[in-house]
Structure 1
Amino acid sequence: MPNEPALPQTSHRPSFMMALATYAIAGCVIFGLSILIADFAVPDHDWIADTISDLAAGKYEFIVDIGIYAFSGSLISIALLAAHDHLGGLRWSLGSVGFAVLGLIVFLVGARNEYGDNDHDGWVIHIYLVYALGLLVAALPWAMSKGAKRINRNLGRLLVALSVLWSLSAPVFFFLPTAIDGLYERYLGLVSFCIVAAMAWLFIGRARSLR
């Protein structure tokens, strides 16, 4: 048999890591832009009172759906990065799986098109997806923080702070008057973007150090 090439000393691929981390940030930007575009494209839309779900229902739903799918890809990219560059511990392992599950949940939110618009065809699961999403976004930054501190103590602390911020902020949404819940939902979206960006920046730093 011909001699096979020797395996590399490390299994890490900095270029692969950089590409995934860059996309994770880009997916957040695409989602944000899709919401901004839909805010102007959807007739009679009030971005303070109307939620992102309102934008994702109706004639122009494809605009926000593109952003939702892009953000789903961002979350799965983080999951792939965390599995590729495992920073140790059960919390990190659970967090890696959790980001993949969160990406699937976000994808299902877009694919099911159930946004409280009186659509009762089949089993309506939107509210259950929202609950699961909320719990995961609260837990995942904390789960990854210990491993992150091994590389960047400040990013690890930031992940803990974002976990606490989300945990305190997200439940408030369900008690807000409909006149302002759209604006508040956008604030929560920004918090979730910060979580993804913090994780992506961690891996960008790792990729640079491994080159």
Structure 2
Amino acid sequence: MSRHESAEIVARERPELLIFCGVAGLIGTLAPLAMIVWADAVAEHDFIADTISDLARGDHKWIMDLGFYLNAGGLLALAIAAAHAHLGRAGWSIGIVTLALLSLTVVMLGLWDKFHDADYNPPGMTVHTKLSFALGPLYLVGPLLMAQGAGGVRRAYLWLFLASAGLWIAFAAAFKLAPTGYDGILEKVAITMTWLWTVPLGALFISRGLGKRHRITER
């Protein structure tokens, strides 16, 4: 792609959209942490042993459900920004689809605790549990596919995305294999590792939008 063609593509990017989606992505990424702290304060929850899904059950489940929905909205916002400012080839495109699928999965995780019927599932394998298995490959593939494109903007993004994928799958596997007395904390650490992908991605779009807006005001 020539420099002139690249300039034309940048010119078509809307800074307000990139900034809005970047901010929404950051809020959606970090909101579940606030919901976990809030729900943990009002519900009986063992931070080490109990999982995030345990907080989405009981009288205060609406708090954690809100965290799921905010997270889904943030992931969708990142997908929109990534499609608007396309920074790669086929891998980046698949990464966009991955973000959208993650958003859909997280919404369904929040909804399905209300709508599933455990009687039709094997013990411990509700629809909610089955959906959670989709998170494993999605959070692994997404940052791996988008690492090169983001790395073209800043090299640090490449290493953060690769670290996110590697640490996520390591702690997610440990969560599945760990005794129930420790799986809660391992799950929370695994989710935190995904921030090495989503937080820099949101920051990338905010920075790109601000830079684009600055160039527009200089004309």
CA RMSD of aligned residues (A): 2.0
TM-score normalised by structure 2 residue count = 0.86
CA distance in 2, matches of 1:48, 1:186: 9
- For the residue of structure 2 that corresponds to 1:47, the secondary structure is coil
CA distance in 2, matches of 1:66, 1:20: 19
Question: Aligned partner of 2:27: which letter?
Answer: A
Q: Does 1:185 align with 2:187?
A: yes
CA distance in 2, matches of 1:11, 1:165: 36
Question: Aligned partner of 1:120: which letter?
Answer: A
- Whether contact under 8 Å (1:74, 1:196) holds in the other structure is no
- For the residue of structure 1 that corresponds to 2:20, the secondary structure is helix
Map 1:55-70 → 2, pairs under 5 A = 55-70=55-70
Note the C-alpha offset of 1:122: 5.7
- Whether contact under 8 Å (1:31, 1:68) holds in the other structure is yes
CA offset digits 1:140-195 (Å, max 9, x no partner): 00110011011111111211111111122211111111111111111112112332
- Whether contact under 8 Å (2:15, 2:210) holds in the other structure is yes
Change (3 A) 1:83 1:48: same
CA distance in 1, matches of 2:146, 2:31: 24
CA offset digits 1:95-116 (Å, max 9, x no partner): 011100110001100011179x
Question: Aligned partner of 2:112: which letter?
Answer: R
CA distance in 2, matches of 1:106, 1:193: 15
- For the residue of structure 2 that corresponds to 1:71, the secondary structure is helix
Note the C-alpha offset of 1:32: 0.7
Map 1:148-163 → 2, pairs under 5 A = 148-163=150-165
Deviates more, 1:124-133 or 1:158-167: 124-133
- For the residue of structure 2 that corresponds to 1:113, the secondary structure is helix
- Which blocks of at least 5 consecutive residues in structure 1 are unaligned? 1-7
Map 1:31-50 → 2, pairs under 5 A = 31-43=32-44, 45-50=45-50
- Whether contact under 8 Å (1:114, 1:126) holds in the other structure is no
Question: Aligned partner of 1:41: which letter?
Answer: V
CA distance in 2, matches of 1:119, 1:193: 32
Question: Aligned partner of 2:51: which letter?
Answer: T
- For the residue of structure 1 that corresponds to 2:194, the secondary structure is helix
Corresponding residue number in structure 2 for 1:4: none
- For the residue of structure 1 that corresponds to 2:75, the secondary structure is helix
| Superposition misfits of 4+ residues, deviation over 4 angstroms | none
- For the residue of structure 2 that corresponds to 1:151, the secondary structure is coil
Change (3 A) 1:63 1:92: same
- Whether contact under 8 Å (1:173, 1:181) holds in the other structure is yes
Map 1:72-151 → 2, pairs under 5 A = 72-113=72-113, 119-120=117-118, 124-151=126-153
Q: Which has the higher helix share?
A: 2
- Whether contact under 8 Å (2:175, 2:187) holds in the other structure is yes
Q: Identity across aligned pairs (percent)?
A: 34
Equivalent pairs, count: 201
Corresponding residue number in structure 1 for 2:212: 210
Corresponding residue number in structure 2 for 1:25: 26
Note the C-alpha offset of 1:64: 0.4
